[in-house]
Amino acid sequence: MSKILIRGAKVLGGEPQDVLIDGETIAEVGRGLSAEGAEVVEADGKVLLPGLVDLHTHLREPGREDSETVLTGTRAAAAGGYTAVFAMANTFPVADTAGVVEQVWRLGREHGYCDVRPVGAVTVGLEGKQLAELGAMHDSAAGVTVFSDDGTCVHDAVIMRRALEYVKAFDGVVAQHAQEPRLTEGAQMNEGAVSAELGLGGWPAVAEEAIIARDVLLAGHVGSRVHICHLSTAGSVEIVRWAKSRGIQVTAEVTPHHLLLTDELVRTYDPVYKVNPPLRTERDVHALREALADGTIDIVATDHAPHPQEDKDCEWPAAAMGMVGLETALSVVQETMVDTGLLDWAGVADRMSFAPARIGRATGHGRPVSAGEPANLTLVDTAYRGPVDPARFASRSRNTPYEGRELPGRVTHTWLRGKATLVDGKLT
């Protein structure tokens, strides 16, 4: 078995230490470790984190391989420091049966750049009318633990209650795309002063907040776990904070773009800024940052949503919603949370590895950087700062809102169970 010695890394941002990998496992962590027979990686004070875990990724395969495939998406994940991703169910066909989730799971195992945990649909065809095969998907080889109709909302309260009751039996979680459909018909951007000036249909904050309020009450009533996808408003933060104070089993995620960008960017009419939920106000951005810092929001999830050029390079109303995010997420979090003093690197490890692995029950991921643990690791050059160049992305799609923008931090190495998937910034 191969040995790798990572020399002088700041483990979770602490004092420099050496980390010895032996095969698939971390063998030893300390200072002055022997390098005999080991490949040496000089970390030079870079930050070593547990491999990142994304609870919300769109890999598009099967059905939209023009946007992304499991191969290209997991390569993008490795380039961004991820060792595990949860692949959302809105594929073609929808991942609402054991057969489809097993197909995605096997593709992930075949390509090997990161572990792929399929997310099962809550309802058949994402139509919100009939529960999908939740138990069969959980009992399949894929072992599905997270269920979501992401892209659409489980808007029927009876269906949502039944889903929460069903997954409780095996400690699953329902991840809700909180969007009341009747309040967002024709919506193009955040409802507010900017939408009024531009004459674009508004997506009101209450459309998100009303669903979250209903679902935390349902979760509390049933005694089951509910997870809120891409939370985006200050009001939503307050509802989740209240629910947690009552002991309700609710967790929530925020995307990198909702931590940095605001609806003012829509004035350009550039569809790269069109996303669901929409970019919100500066007030919302500050509330989301504070909530991530104090733990009201549990995790950062990318909502990596690749689209081919023709779906974005068009007029605003016709453009698809979504942004790629796997390869820039950690940089945006450093910019908005670490460099502002809201989180330290141990906090980043919690929000981007430990907590998402715990919510999704991703065995072997989100583990401490210590002896005996799986060697799922990422090494980050936090001193780096440079412009984002989508031409260098591993993702098949290029719909990033950060093109040309200078961001800090660069992932230099990623290891999946001791195997290097990224070395010196290059995929293996």
Q: Is 90 annotated in some ligand binding site?
A: yes
Q: Report the candidate in 249, 351, 340 with the shortest Cα–Cα distance to residue 294.
A: 351
Structure tokens at 298: 């549990």
CA distance 41 to 8: 9
Angle at 242 between CA 236 and CA 243, to 5 degrees: 90
Q: Residue 55: phi, psi to the nearest 5?
A: -80, 0
Q: Is 182 annotated in some ligand binding site?
A: no
313 catalytically annotated? no
Q: Is 156 annotated in some ligand binding site?
A: no
Structure tokens at 84: 């595990």
Residue type, position 422, single letter:
L
CA distance 114 to 21: 18
Q: Does the predicted model carry a pTM greater than 0.95?
A: yes
Structure tokens at 136: 């069969």
Q: Is 177 annotated in some ligand binding site?
A: yes
Which CATH number, 2.30.40.10, 3.40.50.970, 3.40.50.620, 2.30.30.100, labels domain 3-47+374-427? 2.30.40.10
Domain boundaries, the chain: 3-47+374-427, 51-360
Q: Is 307 annotated in some ligand binding site?
A: yes
Q: Is 59 annotated in some ligand binding site?
A: yes
Token look-up 């009024």 returns 196
Count the Cβ atoms, other than its own, within 10 Å of residue 97.
18
Q: Residue 168: phi, psi to the nearest 5?
A: -60, -30
Q: What is the pLDDT along the chain (428 residues), one digit of tens a residue?
A: 589 999 999 999 999 999 999 999 999 999 999 888 999 999 999 999 999 999 999 999 999 999 999 999 999 999 999 999 999 999 999 999 999 999 999 999 999 899 999 999 999 999 999 999 999 999 999 999 999 999 999 999 999 999 999 999 999 999 999 999 999 999 999 999 999 999 999 999 999 999 999 999 999 999 999 999 999 999 999 999 999 999 999 999 999 999 999 999 999 999 999 999 999 999 999 999 999 999 999 999 999 999 999 999 999 999 999 999 999 999 999 999 999 999 999 999 999 999 999 999 999 999 999 999 999 999 999 999 999 999 999 999 999 999 999 999 999 999 999 999 999 999 99
The pLDDT of residue 66 is 96
Q: Which CATH architecture has domain 51-360?
A: Alpha-Beta Barrel (3.20)
The pLDDT of residue 35 is 83
Question: 379 CB contacts (<8 Å, ≥6 apart)?
Answer: 6, 9, 41, 43, 46, 47, 48, 49, 411, 412, 413, 414
Question: 293 CB contacts (<8 Å, ≥6 apart)?
Answer: 337, 342, 343, 347
Token look-up 């138990």 returns 135
CA distance 169 to 159: 16
Q: Using DSSP, state whether 65 is helix, strand or coil.
A: coil
Q: Is 106 annotated in some ligand binding site?
A: no
Q: Is 230 annotated in some ligand binding site?
A: yes
Count the Cβ atoms, other than its own, within 10 Å of residue 410.
19
- Annotated active-site residue in 18, 149, 298, 303: 303
Q: Using DSSP, state whether 270 is helix, strand or coil.
A: coil
The answer to whether the CB of 236 falls within 8 A of the CB of 296 is: no
Q: Is 56 annotated in some ligand binding site?
A: yes
Residue type, position 102, single letter:
E
